[in-house]
Amino acid sequence: MIEVKRTWYRLLLPVGYLFLLFLVVLLSFSGGRVLTSSWHGLTVHTREVPGPEGLSILEEVRIDYHGLSLRFSRKTPLEASTDSGGRLPVIPLSFTASSDELTLEASEGVRIRIIPSVGDSLRIVLSAPPRMTRLTIPFSLSGGLKAQVAEDLPILALNPSGDDQYYLSLPGTSRILLEQRILEVGLSRDGNGTLTLGAPSGGKAVFAFWYRSQNRSITPRQVAAAIQQFVDSAYKGWQSRLLPDRLVWSYETERGIHEETVIAYAAEAIRRNTFPDVVDTLARMREAHPAAFTFLSNPYVGNLQRTSEAFFQELDDLLEAYLDSLSPGAPSPLHTVPDLYDLLVMSRTLGGSGRWLSRVQGLLSSLDPERLSPAQALELLRLFHRVRRSSPALLDTTPIEPLFDTVLYPALTLTDEGLFVASGGRADIRLSLAAAAILSMEGARRGDPLMEEVSRDLYVSSLKLVGPSGTLPASFPVDDPRQREGIVFPEEVYPFVMPDAPLPHIVPLLQGEDLTGWVWTILKFPRISVSETELLMEFEFPEGWIHHMVIQGVRPYTRLEILRLTWRTTPVFEIYPMGAYYTPGNETLYVKYRHREQKERILVTY
């Protein structure tokens, strides 16, 4: 038996010198000499045994990297799983070296390439016939090396408590059986998979290392196409599911009116310039089914005073339920309209006296991210994003990073269908699209390319599953995407897919903690000016179109100016094309506005 051991340094050397070094290694194989060299700690051991007719047979190849050993042996062969459920032994056949890579050819058409990369990383690229779905590789640890599976991702953290910590990253569908010292490497549909060794640091860096080793590349054009296909299908679905004779929608198990359908349909109609026709239908729906329309949709269809006063009375109960859903272990459905920021801002000027804000601050001060579900983390991340954008003095948002590093990034998993947020072993479409939205917004705000890359991937992975009428599956097992369960109607996720659509939301009259009022609206305001003597609001909407606003925090005034005219208010204002009504008890101004010009204004003089 002949044992050959060779090691080489991984240095940033001229290519010519590196090529000569690999030639020496290659020659040493055939001559049986031992060459001791090094290359960033990488060592390759090969063992050959005599074969028939004096030929040598490759018995084993072992790759050592800082105490981690991957073994490819005839005595303990690799095991390949096939798409038919079969298992095949895979043994080494030959080993060669060049200036660019080391290559191990194995049985059953398997090839293993070791490729150096610029920086502190090394790639081990597996290629197999497409029928193979998984390749099992044994590994061992030496020299007292400690290891653990990193943050529930297919990453093996090596020397996790040491200064020279590094990681072995596997494809997203892989598993690491640490006690058995087995790597179950998931292969793509074309039979490929890549393992990457490197040494990042920190929670986000671990995720970034793993994600970028997957070689995912989703372009903004792909995202735009996926979103367009989704909203086109959704809009056609809302039209086709509408039963005009009964003025209700047909859902999977019922017929009725869900207000989130009203909101999404109206918002998309505004985007498509079909709002006047759609709002006429919605107005007739509201007349036929008034109980189905609340404060949430009144920016589109009106009935402002009745729905607003009813909502204000329920505000405390809504906040109580919302905050209860953020308790560890509590069911945590995702909220869209309104979100927690909307409710907190409303409560500041509606008798809340800061009580609810204090409760949220208390919740955040004792926040334990490890006890939160992905849905709860996403709710808080959306709150923090809106606070940072609109009211930076309202809340301390320092807990935001642990929510990404400890909850969101570890929940991301790569399946055969793409990248998703997983909860309870299942890829969840609602959570995935909510995560895509927050990562997109935060990534743009921070200029963070990783967040933007992951957001694009989540959008395309989820939206490519769109079916008739814009519906999506609710979830599927991460290891078997074909077993889809449940249904997500497009209106349930429309605010995540189209966060910049004209959806109802709160606009504070003043920025900061000392909120003096707000507007419930579907518009963006290029200018809001508040002083001791006046309130000036400028806004835009297409000419001839009607929208509604609830403006809270308007002190008793001396003059209301609309269309640059002194305007008189009346409780029956909504029977007119435009009008207003003021209730001094809660300092609320209700406005129905029909635009004569695209850009209009309201001026309140105190």
Average pLDDT over residues 105-122: 83
Quick one: 474 and 533 in the same domain?
no
Quick one: 60 and 204 in the same domain?
yes
More confident residue, 34 or 517: 517
Q: Is 562 within a domain?
A: yes
Phi, psi of 514 (to 5 degrees): -85, 70
Where does the pLDDT of residue 516 fall: very low under 50, low under 70, confident under 90, or very high at 90 and above? confident
DSSP letters, 60-81, are EEEEEETTEEEEEESSS-EEEE
More confident residue, 362 or 153: 362
Q: Is 499 within a domain?
A: no
Q: Is 202 within a domain?
A: yes
Residue 537 above 50 pLDDT?
Answer: yes
Average pLDDT over residues 440-445: 92
Q: How far is 373 from 421, CA to CA, in rounded Å?
A: 11
Quick one: 412 and 386 in the same domain?
no
Residue 150 above 80 pLDDT?
Answer: no
Q: Is 277 within a domain?
A: no
Q: Is 372 within a domain?
A: yes
Average pLDDT over residues 482-494: 96
Q: How far is 191 from 188, CA to CA, in rounded Å?
A: 5
Which of 16-20, 314-318, 401-405, 590-594 is the least confident region?
16-20
Residue 117 above 70 pLDDT?
Answer: no
Where does the pLDDT of residue 27 fall: very low under 50, low under 70, confident under 90, or very high at 90 and above? very low
Alpha-helical segments (H) within 476-558: 490-497
394-396-402 Cα angle (round to 5): 140
Q: Is 253 within a domain?
A: no
What is the chain's mean pLDDT, rounded? 88
Quick one: 387 and 532 in the same domain?
no
Phi, psi of 507 (to 5 degrees): -120, 115
Residue 15 above 50 pLDDT?
Answer: no
pLDDT of residue 1: 30
In the listed set 214, 229, 250, which residue is the last one of a domain according to the structure? 214
User: Which range of residues forms the domain containing residue 209?
Assistant: 33-214
Residue range 161-173, pLDDT digits in tens: 666 788 898 988 8
181: left (phi over 0), alpha (psi -120 to 50) or beta: left
What is the number of domains present in the chain?
Answer: 4
Q: For residues 197-231, b (16+ Cβ closer than 10 Å) or e, as one string?
A: bbbbeebbebbbbbbbbbebebeeebbeebeeebb
Residue 71 above 60 pLDDT?
Answer: yes
Q: How far is 98 from 25, CA to CA, in rounded Å?
A: 9
pTM of the predicted model, to two decimals?
0.82
Quick one: 178 and 81 in the same domain?
yes
Average pLDDT over residues 320-347: 91
Q: How far is 255 from 409, CA to CA, in rounded Å?
A: 39
The CA dihedral of 200, 206, 212, 217, to the nearest 10 degrees, is -140
Q: Is 371 within a domain?
A: yes
Quick one: 330 and 360 in the same domain?
yes
The CA dihedral of 6, 10, 11, 14, to the nearest 10 degrees, is 80
Quick one: 166 and 141 in the same domain?
yes
Residue 485 above 70 pLDDT?
Answer: yes
In the listed set 455, 488, 521, which residue is the last one of a domain according to the structure? 488
Write the burial class of residue 478 (CB in 10 Å: 0-12 exposed, 13-18 middle, 19+ buried).
Answer: buried
Quick one: 192 and 95 in the same domain?
yes
Element (H, E) at 578: none
Quick one: 363 and 315 in the same domain?
yes
Average pLDDT over residues 63-90: 92
Helices 490-497 and 259-271 pack at an angle, to 10 degrees, of 50
How far is CA 276 from each of CA 353, 547, 580, 594, 597, rounded to the nearest angstrom?
A: 40, 11, 21, 12, 16
Which of 199-203, 381-385, 503-507 is the least confident region?
199-203
Which residues, 6 or more positions from 466, have their beta carbon under 8 angstroms from its beta carbon?
A: 229, 230, 233, 472
Q: Is 434 within a domain?
A: yes
Residue range 235-253, pLDDT digits in tens: 999 999 999 999 999 998 8
Quick one: 164 and 124 in the same domain?
yes
Amino acid at 403: L
Quick one: 576 and 545 in the same domain?
yes
Residue 283 above 70 pLDDT?
Answer: yes
Amino acid at 147: A
In the listed set 488, 518, 541, which residue is the last one of a domain according to the structure? 488
Quick one: 132 and 42 in the same domain?
yes
